[in-house]
Amino acid sequence: MRILRGKDYGEMSLLAARIMAAKILSNPSCVLGLATGSTPIGLYDKLVKWNEEGILDFSKVTTVNLDEYKGLTPDNDQSYRYFMNTHLFDRVNIRKDHTFVPDGTEKDEEKACADYNRILEEVGPADIQLLGIGRNGHIGFNEPGDAFIPLTHSVQLTESTIEANSRFFATLEEVPKKAYTMGMKTILNAKTVLIVASGKDKAQAVHDAFEGPVTPACPASVLQLHSDVVLAADEDALSLM
C-alpha cells in the first residue's frame, strides 16, 4: 500500500485527484469506479476544474458507482445518482450513457443486483476504484458482518444509519431502509484501489483497516489483500497509523 499524506482535507483531495487524473490521462477510455459521501467531493471539484481547463477529457471515460439507495429515484436529491450528476457528471464532458449506478427504482432486489452485476461484467474491471471509508470500516454499503459478500447485493440499513439519514428527509418513513451495493470481489477486481479518508473520526477505521487483521468485522481490511492500494488521507485520519 502507498500512503499519500495531505496536511488537511484540501491537500488530501488534491493528492487523490492527481491519481484519478493520471489514470484518465494514461488511458482516456478507462473505467472509473466511483464513490459518494462527503470525502470525495473535493477530489471531484479538482477533476471538474481540470476538465474546464482542458487538461482532462471525460468523453471516452466509463464509470461504475459503488451503491444506491433502494427506492430513491434519480431526481431525488438524496439519491446517489443525483449526487454523482451534481458533483461530477453534469459538470464534465462525460457521456451520461457511460455512467452506471445501481437502479434504486428496481423493486425486485434479485433483478436489481443481477442487472448491475451484468453491467459490471460488460464494462469490465475498473481501472481504478475510488472508496471512502465509514467510521465502522465499511466500504460502499458493505457493513461489518460475518462474511465478505462477493457480488452486488441488497443491504438492510442499520437503525443508526436510518436515524442518521433522517435529517435529510421530511419524515422517517421516507428514509430508505435498504440499499444496493457492489460486493467485495468486484471491488478487489479493480486494478488500482484509491481510498480517501479525512478527519480524526476516521483514524480508528483507517488503523483497523490497514494495521489490524483481515476480517469482515472491518470490511476495508480486505484491501490488505490487494496489490495496488493507494490511501490518500489527511494527518488527522492517519493519526493512529
Applying CB under 6 A, the residues found at the interface with ligand PGA are 37-39, 132-134
Among residues 39 and 192, whose Cβ is nearest to ligand PGA?
39
How many degrees, rounded to 5, is the angle at CA 127 between CA 33 and CA 183? 45
CA distance 241 to 234: 12
Active site residue 138: yes
Tell me which of 67, 103, 106, 127 is the catalytic residue. 67
**Which among 103, 127, 143, 234 is annotated as catalytic?**
143
Q: How far is the CB of 59 from ligand PGA (least distance, A)?
A: 28
- Of 114 and 217, nearer to ligand PGA (C-beta) is 217
Q: How many CB atoms lie within 10 A of CB 232?
A: 28
Among candidate residues 138, 153, 234, 236, the one labeled active-site is: 138
Close Cβ partners of 224 (under 8 Å, ≥ 6 residues apart): 1, 209, 210, 214
Q: Which is nearer to ligand PGA, 54 or 240 (CB)?
A: 240
CB of 145 to ligand PGA, least distance (A): 16
For residue 5, report the phi and psi dihedrals to the nearest 5 degrees. Answer: -100, 115
Q: Least distance in Å: CB of 108 to ligand PGA?
A: 26
Whole-angstrom CA distances from 139 to 105, 192, 223 are 22, 15, 10
Known catalytic residue: 67? yes
For 235, the grid coordinates are: 494527518
Q: Which is nearer to ligand PGA, 96 or 167 (CB)?
A: 167
| Residues 174-204: b if buried by 16+ CB within 10 A, e if exposed | ebbeebbbbbbebbbbbbbbbbbbbbeebbb
Residue 44: CB minimum distance to ligand PGA, A: 12
* Residues designated catalytic: 67, 136, 138, 143
